[in-house]
């Protein structure tokens, strides 16, 4: 597979057009054929976004779209338990589910959860008794949104379906691993996750992606979260992949009255990561939380685009994103809050703070509010700067090295974006990754 920039522009789009019929023939879920064809037609009319598109003006996707990819990953692998253990958070009391090269690997998973429906997405699509679930939920909130969500609808095959029934509380967090290995060519995964948390239920998910090869992996992921009345769903995205990994992540959360949904995004690795996060509030007394910590260097790019739709009164949303950028890295944050005219008593908070550690690093930040109600409490803000020299001097005067002093200040800077994490091993993992990225050997 050619991996240089000498291949024709938009090579991926040409591949998609030429190979779609072959891909459809490889699938068994015939009831989705027409939906897949329609999604592909929408994609072809939209095309991949360019820097001329307002939503992508700071993120150049040419590096991704000019490569060619294999759409049919090889299933063979030699992932060992020891390799998987290194990816764990020390979560002996967790459940974990492992996908390797797109396929659910039960022998590398540990599932003790009861009274729930859990299936690989591909299996669920082929299961007649789940047909009504997909008729009701599939693509309900992700439809027609963008080129990538349409591509996902056209090609989705990997991922999982989880339904937590009424009043069922899953005490253990569930860690979902997506691993790619033994791929001799650049590989394209279209991952689809569907989480339904019924009335009064509770669940926590951790999601991480890992590329074990030197070839490039492009993961185009769509996640749909449905949180029903008095239910609670927490989804933690731990993004720490290698430098030959691209991730386009679209997450949609639809909440009913009195529910709470949290999406935390921790971005440390990956060559180019784009996170699109869309919350739809569909009732009163809803709480929506979005937190993010980005720590990158070299020539990495992480782009966060968030949106919260306040459609009913007496709801709250909270966005808190922290960025630390070194080398020639580039960060993007565009957070939007929409308040409908009937959404009185809305309380919406949005904050994006960034630290640039080198002259070559850059951040483009754009918080936005669109408010059509008059009895609301909404605020937004952003900051971009360097470390406080006085605080740095104070720590160094007490015998702390410059690197360690910087690390301590940066940990304090990022710490409030971790305050709502109640999974202690996850907090510890993020602290260790922060130390690794800052190249210091200390424990926070």
Q: Is the pLDDT of residue 270 over 80?
A: yes
Euclidean distance between CA atoms 32 and 19, whole angstroms = 17
The whole-number average pLDDT for the span 355-367 is: 95
Q: What is the pLDDT of residues 390-400, one digit of tens each?
A: 888 888 898 89
Euclidean distance between CA atoms 111 and 96, whole angstroms = 6
pLDDT at 443: 78
pLDDT at 382: 92
The whole-number average pLDDT for the span 51-80 is: 92
Per-residue DSSP letter, 14: H
Q: Is the pLDDT of residue 69 over 50?
A: yes
Average pLDDT, the chain: 90
Q: What is the pLDDT of residues 380-422, one digit of tens each?
A: 999 999 888 888 888 889 889 988 998 899 989 998 898 888 8
Distances (CA, A) of 417 to 255, 278, 303: 22, 19, 17
What confidence tier does 82 reach under pLDDT thresholds 50, 70, 90? confident
Per cent of the chain over pLDDT 70 is 96
The whole-number average pLDDT for the span 309-324 is: 97
Encoded tokens for 15: 């591949």
Per-residue DSSP letter, 8: P
Contacts of 41 (CB under 8 A, 6+ apart): none
Give 262's strand partners.
Answer: 234, 289
Euclidean distance between CA atoms 377 and 392, whole angstroms = 36
pTM of this prediction? Answer: 0.93
The whole-number average pLDDT for the span 132-155 is: 80
Q: What is the pLDDT of residues 148-203, one digit of tens each?
A: 999 998 888 899 999 999 999 999 999 999 999 999 999 999 999 999 999 999 99
Give 383's strand partners.
Answer: 353
Per-residue DSSP letter, 420: T
Q: Is the pLDDT of residue 81 over 90?
A: no
pLDDT at 143: 66
What confidence tier does 28 reach under pLDDT thresholds 50, 70, 90? low
What confidence tier does 135 reach under pLDDT thresholds 50, 70, 90? confident
What confidence tier does 29 reach under pLDDT thresholds 50, 70, 90? low
pLDDT at 7: 40
**What are the strands of the beta sheet with 287-296, ordered from one edge?**
103-104, 95-100, 174-180, 202-211, 232-239, 260-267, 287-296, 316-325, 347-356, 377-385
pLDDT at 9: 44
What confidence tier does 214 reach under pLDDT thresholds 50, 70, 90? very high
């Amino acid at each position: 597979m050619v991996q240089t920039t000498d291949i024709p522009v938009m090579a991926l789009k040409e591949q998609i057009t030429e190979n779609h019929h072959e891909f459809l023939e490889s699938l068994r879920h015939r009831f989705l054929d027409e939906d897949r064809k329609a999604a592909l037609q929408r994609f072809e009319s939209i095309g991949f976004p360019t820097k001329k598109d307002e939503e992508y003006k700071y993120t150049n996707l040419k590096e991704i779209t000019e490569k060619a990819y294999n759409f049919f990953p090889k299933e063979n692998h030699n992932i060992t338990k020891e390799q998987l253990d290194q990816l764990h958070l020390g979560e002996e009391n967790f459940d974990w589910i492992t996908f390797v090269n797109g396929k659910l690997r039960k022998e590398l998973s540990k599932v003790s959860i009861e009274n729930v429906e859990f299936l690989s997405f591909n299996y669920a699509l082929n299961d007649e008794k789940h047909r009504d679930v997909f008729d009701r939920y599939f693509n309900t909130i992700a439809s027609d949104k963008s080129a990538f969500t349409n591509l996902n609808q056209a090609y989705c095959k990997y991922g999982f379906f989880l339904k937590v029934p009424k009043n069922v509380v899953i005490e253990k967090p569930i860690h979902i691993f997506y691993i790619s290995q033994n791929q001799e060519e650049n590989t394209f995964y279209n991952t689809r996750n569907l989480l339904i948390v019924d009335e009064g239920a509770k669940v926590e998910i951790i999601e991480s992606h890992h590329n074990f090869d030197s070839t490039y992996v492009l993961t185009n992921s769509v996640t749909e979260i449905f949180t029903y009345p008095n239910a609670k769903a927490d989804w933690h995205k731990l993004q720490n992949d290698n430098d030959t990994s691209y991730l386009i992540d679209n997450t949609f959360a639809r909440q009913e009255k009195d529910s709470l949904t949290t999406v935390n995004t921790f971005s440390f690795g990956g060559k180019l990561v784009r996170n699109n996060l869309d919350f739809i509030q569909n009732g009163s007394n809803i709480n929506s939380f979005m937190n993010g910590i980005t720590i990158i260097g070299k020539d990495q790019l992480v782009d966060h685009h968030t949106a919260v739709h306040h459609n009913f009164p007496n709801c709250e949303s909270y966005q808190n994103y922290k960025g630390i950028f070194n080398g020639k890295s580039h960060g993007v944050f565009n957070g939007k809050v929409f308040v409908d005219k009937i959404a009185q008593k809305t309380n919406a908070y949005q904050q994006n703070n960034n630290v640039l550690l080198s002259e070559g690093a850059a951040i483009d930040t754009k918080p936005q509010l669109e408010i059509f109600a008059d009895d609301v409490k909404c605020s937004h803000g952003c900051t971009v700067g360097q470390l406080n020299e006085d605080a740095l001097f104070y720590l160094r005067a007490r015998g702390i090295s410059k690197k360690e002093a910087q690390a301590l200040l940066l940990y304090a800077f990022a710490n409030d974006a971790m305050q709502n994490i109640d999974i202690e091993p996850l907090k510890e993992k993020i602290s260790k990754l922060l130390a690794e990225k800052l190249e210091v050997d200390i424990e926070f």
